[in-house]
């Protein structure tokens, strides 16, 4: 960890030099892909907020008062950085003024666009078409649907992450194992199925990662999956805090921008909560762990962490553990249904589900309290009393949010 920390500081030092050089210039020219486009109104004027991913890796927002749509287009921009862009913003996503110099011709529809259209045509509701394309191909969600999903407390089910990758690993690895195991046992029993089937599964998931455009959350999850598989092959303990901290340190050293990524820290917190629950529930039957302790425990333990940043609160968020469990069979099932042309089977139920939460309250936990909670969580690695206190604090906070 000391070596990884030194490497991270080394990388941050050079990133800071690049940042100082970036803001010192009056303007830059760059090419950037439009990731999303939102229409806004202010003081009687309409404008668009564009989220862009530049060819040099920078991610930023800018505005345009043109009436043209730039969705899924590539632009040549003149951007005007200044010192209002902080180092943290530079490493993550920042706002910068710009001038659009050129709009490149729209590229011919590729295979991904064809698949997006095939998914959309199976649904009468554009909202549901957006929902399925988001969980299959990491496309942006409309704001209204994103808000409804946030009120249900299932945003983690929509943004492609380790949860989805874990389901896909289980599905692909399981299918390969069914076909491969009899052949291996009869013709080459000296082979280790975890290595052979694991390599094929990792290759397939790597292709999927490339196909959906390398979303950061999925890249992080793939790196953790690769590290976990490597440890299993090496015969080392996988479910340990040392593994989690080492992988997180490696990712930070390789991608320093993750240090300022909220989604990265939330994903690390989620895995940390799982490890805590497994540590103190070892004597409990594994089926009870999988069906009750893990989904409910993660939901309760993560509430103070999530509400340190996102204050949206509705009673329907209590459905989150159940919906998370149901999503495990739902995700591969709807993939198969869309392949055979019956993707709209669950449309009625999903529309009713998304229409449930009408209003929401805002409850933000003070940052000082959240940081104290995190310290208590770290102490829980070693001390059972700290874990009991942590669980009591999280449960009390849940009662405050949903019952008081």
Beta strands at 59-64 and 74-80: parallel, antiparallel or unpaired: unpaired
In degrees, rounded to 5, the angle at the alpha carbon of residue 369 between the alpha carbons of residues 293 and 374 is 50
Domains and CATH numbers, the chain: 2-103 (2.40.50), 155-402 (no CATH)
Mean pLDDT by 10 residues, the chain (404 residues): 92 93 91 85 84 86 86 88 91 91 72 87 91 89 85 86 89 93 90 92 93 79 86 80 87 88 87 92 86 90 92 89 92 94 92 85 91 96 95 94 84
pLDDT value at residue 107: 57
Cα distance between residue 259 and residue 12, in whole Å? 10
Tokens for 167? 């389901």
Asked if 380 and 392 touch (Cβ cutoff 8 Å), the reply is no
Q: What is the layout of strands, in order, in the sheet containing 59-64?
A: 93-95, 59-64, 45-54, 28-42, 74-80, 97-103
pLDDT value at residue 109: 52
User: What's the gap between Cα 133 and its chain centre?
Assistant: 15
Cα distance between residue 294 and residue 53, in whole Å? 36
pLDDT value at residue 76: 92
pTM of the predicted protein model: 0.84
């Amino acid at each position: 960890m000391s070596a990884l920390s030194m490497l991270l500081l080394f990388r941050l030092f050079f990133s800071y030099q690049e940042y100082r050089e970036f803001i010192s210039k009056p303007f830059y020219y760059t090419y950037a892909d439009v990731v999303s486009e939102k229409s806004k109104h202010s003081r009687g004027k309409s404008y668009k907020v564009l989220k862009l991913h530049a060819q040099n890796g920078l991610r930023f927002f800018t505005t345009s008062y043109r009436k043209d749509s730039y969705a899924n287009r590539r632009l040549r921009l003149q951007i005007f950085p200044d010192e209002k862009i902080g180092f943290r913003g530079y490493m993550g996503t920042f706002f910068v003024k710009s001038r659009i110099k050129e709009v490149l011709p729209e590229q011919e529809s590729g295979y991904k666009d064809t698949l997006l259209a095939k998914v959309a045509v199976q649904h009468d509701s554009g909202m549901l078409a957006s929902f399925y394309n988001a969980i299959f191909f990491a496309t942006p969600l409309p704001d209204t649907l994103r808000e409804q999903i946030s009120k249900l407390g299932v945003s983690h089910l929509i943004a492609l992450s380790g949860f989805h990758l874990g389901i896909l690993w289980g599905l692909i690895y399981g299918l390969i194992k069914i076909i491969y195991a009899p052949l291996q046992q009869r013709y080459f029993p000296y082979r280790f199925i975890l290595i052979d089937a694991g390599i094929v599964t990792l290759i397939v998931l790597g292709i999927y990662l490339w196909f959906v455009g390398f979303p950061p959350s999925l890249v992080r999850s793939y790196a953790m999956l690769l590290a976990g598989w490597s440890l299993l092959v090496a015969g080392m303990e996988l479910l340990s805090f040392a593994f989690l901290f080492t992988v997180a340190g490696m990712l930070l050293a390789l991608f320093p921008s993750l240090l300022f990524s909220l989604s990265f820290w939330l994903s690390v917190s989620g895995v940390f909560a799982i490890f805590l629950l497994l540590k103190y529930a070892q004597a409990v039957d594994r089926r009870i762990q999988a069906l009750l302790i893990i989904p409910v425990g993660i939901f309760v333990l993560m509430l103070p962490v999530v509400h340190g940043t996102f204050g949206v609160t509705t009673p329907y968020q209590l459905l989150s553990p159940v919906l998370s469990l149901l999503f495990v069979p739902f995700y591969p099932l709807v993939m198969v249904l869309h392949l055979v042309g019956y993707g709209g089977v669950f449309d009625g139920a999903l529309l009713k589900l998304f229409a449930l939460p009408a209003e929401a309250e805002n409850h933000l936990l003070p940052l000082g309290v959240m940081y104290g909670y995190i310290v208590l969580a770290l102490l829980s690695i070693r001390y059972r009393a700290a874990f009991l206190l942590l669980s009591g604090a999280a449960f009390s906070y849940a009662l405050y949010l949903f019952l008081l």
